[in-house]
Amino acid sequence: MKKSLFYYVLAMLCMVGLFTSCSNDDDAAVSAANEVVGEYSGKLDVVISMGGMDVPAGTIDPQTITVTKAGDNSINLSITNFTFQNIPLGNIELKDCALTANGDKYNFTGTTNLDNQMLTADIAATGSFSNGTLTLDLDIDAVLGGTMNQTVKVTYSGTKQE
């Protein structure tokens, strides 16, 4: 009886070894964030909405946007020293923007707030990465001096720098 129990346990241990594998045998998943991380240089166009009309407020060329990895499928996006019409507004930081694949494109959205001595603003961003190009739209709802509401639309298109 003891011999048959021994052979049964031995057979079970051998079968368990057949159905398990090491995690290093699996193919490594490609991180979406790793594919888009870097610095992008391009043109940033600013438009101010006034009374239902869009008024061009300037083009910033070149403007650098830095993209860093927040997670395997999320990024942080940073525009440093954002200035238009000679008004320094500071840095815009979008944190932990989730990347979603759409064919050969990665889309993302994000929100942030900007608060400095001149204004407070809620910023909503949508963008995409495709073939080394970043496109970004920012919708900025700002309050200037605590009293005047202003809507600003910013579009950006830039290429990844090596």
User: If we measure between CA atoms, which residue out of 96, 148, 147 comes closest to residue 125?
Assistant: 96
Q: What is the pLDDT of residue 26?
A: 47
Model pTM?
0.77
Classify residue 127: in a domain, yes or no.
yes
Coil/strand/helix, residue 127: strand
Coil/strand/helix, residue 10: helix
Q: What is the pLDDT of residue 43?
A: 95
Classify residue 9: in a domain, yes or no.
no
Q: What is the pLDDT of residue 61?
A: 83
Q: 108 is in which domain, residue-wise?
A: 32-160
Angle, CA 87 vertex, CA 81 and CA 91 arms, to 5°? 25
Classify residue 62: in a domain, yes or no.
yes
Q: What is the pLDDT of residue 137?
A: 97
Angle, CA 137 vertex, CA 132 and CA 117 arms, to 5°? 120
Residue 73 DSSP one-character state: T
Q: Three-state secondary structure along 29-44?
A: CCCHHHHHCEEEEEEE
Exposure string of 122-140, with b = 16+ CB inside 10 Å and e = fewer, is ebebebbbeeeebbbebeb
Classify residue 105: in a domain, yes or no.
yes
Classify residue 27: in a domain, yes or no.
no
Give me the number of domains the chain comprises.
Answer: 1
Would you write out the chain's pLDDT as a tens digit for each of its 162 residues?
555 655 555 555 555 555 555 545 444 455 889 999 999 999 999 999 877 899 998 888 889 999 999 999 999 999 988 877 677 778 899 999 999 998 889 999 999 998 888 788 899 999 999 999 999 999 999 888 778 888 999 999 999 998
What CATH number is attached to the domain comprising 51? 2.40.128.120
